[in-house]
Structure 1
Amino acid sequence: MNAYKMALIAILALNIAGNVFAADQASEPVVRWNSLPYKLDDSRAAEKWKASPLFGKTLAQGLKFDSAGSMYVTTARWGGPDMPATVSKVVKAGDKYELAPFPSASLNDISNLDGLKAVLGFEIDEKDVMWLLDQGHVAGQPSGPKDEKLVLWDIKANKEIQRLVFGPEISDKKCSFLNDVVVDNESGFAYIVDSGIFGDPLCGGLIVYDRKANSARRVLNATKFTNDDRNFSFAINGRQVLKNGRMRTGADGIALSGDRKTLYWTSLTGNTLYSLPTTLLRDSKVSESELEAAVRVETQLPSNADGLAADRDGNVYLTALQLNGVLKWEPATRRLTQVAYNPEMVWPDTLAFAPDGTLHVLSNHLHLWVDGDMDFTNPSVPNFTIWKLPVKANSYLN
């Protein structure tokens, strides 16, 4: 029995139990693209991009909102160095939406030694500071000495206010895959997941960042909690992921509870939601064995998840890849529900709260892109969609 059928059986069972419900009609597409249109003010850069074999074949991944409601999207340079930006602001041009390099074209310039190379996960905190997590790896190649880093950009002041370049003891330059970040300005800490996909076995882990000291340390390195489930395989709409072999990805989605007391995460190739008390993570005297002993299995999910988000009330939202939707985990009641479903929501990747509390998700058919099977020739095919979901709550950052 394949993973797709197993997921359907699981969701049916949960429906019968009254724990999960679908909401086919309630998710609303806000922006749709067949291919991503960059807005480039430099004519030479625009011509260079148009001449690239990668032109029009960029994969959209991350999504966040600032306090003014502006949307930002990340496009990690998995395909190659030609992409004109890895972080962009979504701007309206007539009745269409384009991607303008953010914070600037120069910071996104691949030749800039101090610039942004391959940003996948990021966060915009309650002070409108953008936390940019740079994977460093371009098209899967080893990163340079200053490429894997965390950069803090003040959107309102339009300036960089802090950065930390990760040493090899924090993120391995060959193995690491820096994936996502959540922020706690009350304690001055942030938490990062590293999927560790460029090694066998994987080298997944968590990274704890201390903003005041501008330092980081790595925990739970290559453990069963941060690597993948080696026996896990899955399908999207009946199609095996991937066609040339199983996808293997460690710690991937991450969320921080509204009271800042609990950190949640999942591995992409696995269906377990884990948690840890943040007091333990912030204490450098707590040993690895103590951390491992404190990891809690929150629940087994009916689908693996990619993006996670949490609201102020402590609920955790998870994209459900095999169910074309979004799940909600309520730790207080131990209840799991499906809060969004749409058959066109294929590979829901990143979750993001807008300023009005509405939850959004970017779906991107990621498995088709990785397999080289994405159709960029038909404008009516929406490869990338930003959805408004039937969820309204205060973000954990609110």
Structure 2
Amino acid sequence: MIFHWNHLDWNFTDPKLKQKFEAKQAWKHAMPGGVKIDTLGNYYVSVPRWAEGIPATMNRIVVKEGVPLLEPFPSWDWNEAGNVKVLQSVLGYEIDELNRMWLLDQGKIAYAPSPEGSQKLVVWDLTTKKLLDSIDIPNMIAPYRTSFLNDLVVDNKNGYVYITDSGNGWPDHQVAGGIIVYNMKTKQLRRVLDRHYSTQDVPGFRFAIDLLPVFREKPMRIGSDGIALSADRRTLYYCPITGRNLYAVDTALLRDFSVPLEDIGKAVKAIGSKSTTTDGMHADNKGNVFYTMLEGKGVGMYSPSTNVFRSIVSDDRMLWVDGVAFDQQGSIIFNSNRLHQMFESGQPDMDWSYPYNLIIWKAYVGLDVKSYLYAN
């Protein structure tokens, strides 16, 4: 256990903003989405704006007098809600082998339609501390009403980025999941597997954590979510949250924008059931895929060489394990955020005095195990 909170708090520089945050109890919907570490050992955490009042959506963790606080990254100005030119709501992001951060901006706040120009892929150089690029993701690629840009993987060797759109941006509407491919060289975007069975929620799917149904009054429906790129960059793995299957597709088909969409759909492989619902995924440099276990309360691993799924680590406090990443020193880092309790309607309020509501974990998985990004 590296960091833990009863609720998230920020290193505020504006007393008025701090007062507003506390008065409106905005921390009740401040959920750590994904955690990652850079080459200098700095920890970052995204806090998506799924409700009003989140001070900053992208953050670096700082420790003040022994207390972990969030500090807006790269600045307060870059986290200004309502300014579509800067970060609006970040859930998924990646730190690549060149120490560049790829930020996937969902654009939408509190599930309102994404304003034009708000959905984007922002590239930030952590070494020079400079903005490298900001790529607009337009309505024709990710519909502003239904889109829910979730997570991404980066392939610098071939020059592509792969993004999951969970398609649940309109909660009262049918899911419209898909995969988005970005060509770094041409700066073109293409949407594939739109509403394909593998990117959709499983019809009628229900699941429980600790025998308690998740979102009892309005069952969760989320399409393609977790995403992982194989070490050799040849296979893209992905999965919905409301379903247990792991799917895969050949990246050669995704990189060639002339391949018919129908052919890509036919090439999808159902790897099999993980025996658990999954949120975040990440592949290592050995060819394995690590996935979070919502029902199993922990992290599991799929080995393509043996086609075996197995549990790696589990703990009763690992309630809704979200993102998985690597510290490049043999360990995985991940967080548990109680999403199913924090956003459950009609449920008793969480015990906000409990010090382990939100946790960032670290688990050793093997010598020389690193992210897929560091594969030879």
State TM-score, norm by structure 2: 0.95
5 Å-filtered alignment, 1:141-152, equals 141-152=112-123
Counterpart in the other structure of 2:60:
89
**Over aligned residues, Cα RMSD in angstroms?**
1.4
Q: Is 368-377 or 292-301 further displaced after alignment?
A: 368-377
1:253-299 deviation digits (Å, cap 9, x = unpaired): 00001111110000000111000111110001111111011111112
The reply to whether residue 164 of structure 1 matches residue 135 of structure 2 is yes
* Aligned residue in 2 for 1:341: 314
Partner of 1:218: 191
Q: Does 1:394 align with 2:370?
A: yes
2:8–2:27 Cα contact (<8 Å) kept: no
The yes-or-no answer on 1:104 pairing with 2:75 is yes
Distance across 1 between alignment mates of 2:185 and 2:202: 35
Q: How many residues align?
A: 369
CA distance in 1, matches of 2:245, 2:307: 14
Q: Which residue of 1 aligns with 2:328?
A: 355
Name 2:296's counterpart in structure 1. 323
- With over 3 angstroms needed to count, the CA separation of the structure-2 counterparts of 1:38 and 1:269, relative to structure 1, is same
Structure 1 segments unaligned to the other structure (5+ residues)? 1-28
How far residue 374 of structure 1 moved from its aligned partner, in angstroms, is 7.5
CA–CA separation in structure 2 for the residues paired with 1:279 and 1:374:
49
Q: Which runs of 5+ in 2 are unaligned?
A: none
1:76 counterpart residue number: 48
Q: Distance in 2 between matches of 1:56 and 1:328?
A: 32
Q: 1:355-394 residue pairs with structure 2 within 5 A?
A: 355-372=328-345, 373=347, 378-392=352-366, 393-394=369-370
C-alpha contact (below 8 Å) 1:164/1:215 kept by paired residues: no
8 A Cα contact 2:330 2:364, kept in partner: no
Letter in 1 for 2:59: S
Deviation per residue, 1:334-391 (Å, 9 max, x gap): 1111111111111111101113231011001100011155756543341111111231
Q: Is the 8 A contact 1:65 1:355 kept in 2?
A: no
Query: How many Å separate the matches in 2 of 1:329 and 1:155?
Result: 31
- SS of 1:397's partner is helix
d(CA) in 1 for partners of 2:224 and 2:81? 27
Do residues 115 (structure 1) and 89 (structure 2) align? no
Residue equivalent to 1:266: 239
What is the letter of the counterpart of residue 45 of structure 2?
V
Q: CA deviation at 1:60?
A: 1.2
Percent sequence identity over aligned pairs: 38
| 8 Å Cα contact 2:225-2:241 kept in structure 1 | yes
User: For 2:198, what is the secondary structure of its paired residue?
Assistant: coil
1:107 is paired with a residue of what secondary structure? helix
Whether the aligned pair in 1 keeps the contact of 2:84 and 2:107 (CA below 8 Å) is: no
Distance in 1 (CA, whole Å) between partners of 2:351 and 2:199 is 38
What is the CA distance between 1:187 and its match in structure 2? 0.8
Alpha-carbon distance in 2 for matches of 1:305, 1:288:
26
Residue correspondence of structure 1 range 214-293 to structure 2 within 5 A: 214-293=187-266
- Cα shift readout 1:153-193 (whole Å, capped 9, x = no counterpart): 11111111011111111100000000000000111101000
Paired residue for 1:301?
Answer: 274
1:126 aligns with 2:92: no
Instruction: Determine the C-alpha separation between the residues in 2 that align with 1:108 and 1:379.
Output: 28
Matches of 2:28 and 2:237, distance apart in 1: 35
Give the C-alpha shift of residue 53 in structure 1.
Answer: 3.9
Q: Give the deviation of 1:42 after TM superposition.
A: 2.8
Offset from partner CA, 1:121-155 (integer Å, 9 cap, x none) = 11010111111101111111111101111110111
Structure 2 counterpart of 1:201, one-letter code = Q
Contact 2:247–2:270 (Cα < 8 Å) also in 1: yes
Q: What amino acid maps onto 1:382 in structure 2?
A: Y
> What is the one-letter code of the residue matched to 1:58?
A
Rounded Cα–Cα distance in structure 2 between residues aligned with 1:313 and 1:125: 17
